[in-house]
Amino acid sequence: MKILIVRFSSIGDIVLTTPVVRCLKEQLNCELHYLTKKSFQSVLEESPHIDKLITIKKGIDEVMRDLIQEDYDYVVDLHKNLRTFRLKMGLGTKAYSFHKLNLEKWLMVNWKVDRLPQEHIVDRNLAAIANLGVRNDGKGLEYFIAESDRVDLTQFFAKINPPTYVAFVIGAAHATKRLPTEKIIDICRKANKTIVLLGGPAEKEEGEYIAKEAGEHVVNGCGKLRLNQSASVVAQADVVVTHDTGLMHIAAAYQKRIISIWGNTIPEFGMYPYYPEGQMDHTLFEVKGLSCRPCSKIGYKKCPKKHFNCMQQINTAAIVEQIG
């Protein structure tokens, strides 16, 4: 049996498909291929369950001819958009898709009518392959990195001595999903532990500013690490403080203690940290009762209401206390 899984983006969404990858491979002993965007190749390239990783830069036409020649038995569509519709039509193969909840999310965002199922997206992903006889093995998420991406903290960050620390993921794909800089500084300044700031090149300058303002116990790793190096830093942390980001899900894959902070999005969309069955080490911070929240299922560059109460009213003292 040969199966193609499709999820183009993004980091967190791809990590949330890893239980499907593992369960298909282990329970069906199939040949498993995975199609994603080239920019997210590093998220999956070390997975021992994937026999062939196929990537595109822009469109499926880049690989369509090769995919047809693979003669797949099934396609598992975990992205479900116009692009994957074209892909499935072109392959003419029996396909399974997950329930994307577009209507339910639209009702919640626009009318605050809650028709959302109390179900994590991982369980919705797994439900898509239930007809193949595949069941949730309860092992949670997975994330694999090459030995070359493992960070030796004592050499990479000279200030970490002893090497026990908090990983603070300050970035997020959208500004309305992240704390204002002054609140991050407040948390870092008051926390009585070494803190490593994580983020991409876009957060490098901000990370330097936060580290300078918060104190010598704060180390800036933003823009200095590749994704899988950041994953290595997360894997070695005592606790991970994070917004609703891909690194939050990587932290869950490593079964870390997570403190998650939510702004314009809500965990009821089904994207909160997903642990192995019977395990949970997650504390969630959000401002409940705001009539404008959620204002989007994804996020914005700035608060549409201009007050940004979903983040401005976050209790930073309670976060510091939770860090311990």
**What is the structure's pLDDT at 160?**
85
**Over the stretch 99-151, which tens digit does the pLDDT of each residue have?**
999 999 999 999 999 999 999 999 999 999 999 999 999 999 999 999 999 99
Check residue 181 and report its DSSP letter.
Answer: H
Give percent of the chain with pLDDT exceeding 70. Answer: 100
| Long-range contact pairs involving 97-102 (C-beta distance under 8 Å, separation at least 24) | 97/128, 98/124, 98/125, 98/127, 98/128, 99/124, 99/127, 99/128, 101/269, 101/270
Structure-block tokens of residue 293: 């929240």
Close Cβ partners of 142 (under 8 Å, ≥ 6 residues apart): 18, 19, 21, 22, 47, 253
Give percent of the chain with pLDDT exceeding 90. Answer: 97
Distance from chain centroid for Cα 166? 18
- Separation CA 42–CA 56 (nearest Å): 13
**Over the stretch 253-294, which tens digit does the pLDDT of each residue have?**
999 999 999 999 999 999 999 999 999 999 999 999 999 999
**What is the structure's pLDDT at 162?**
79
Amino acid identity at 36: T
**What is the structure's pLDDT at 77?**
98
Residues facing residue 285 across a β-bridge: 261
Place of tokens 């997950």: 98
- Structural domains in the chain, CATH included, are 2-132 (3.40.50.2000), 149-323 (3.40.50.2000)
**What is the structure's pLDDT at 159?**
83
Cα torsion 39, 234, 286, 273: sign: positive
Q: What pTM was computed for the model?
A: 0.97
Looking at every residue in the chain, the average pLDDT score rounds to 97
Helix (H, G, I), strand (E, B) or coil at 154: helix
Structure-block tokens of residue 4: 């193609």
- Look at strands 218-220 and 257-261 and give their pairing: unpaired
What value does the mean pLDDT take over residues 10-30?
Answer: 98
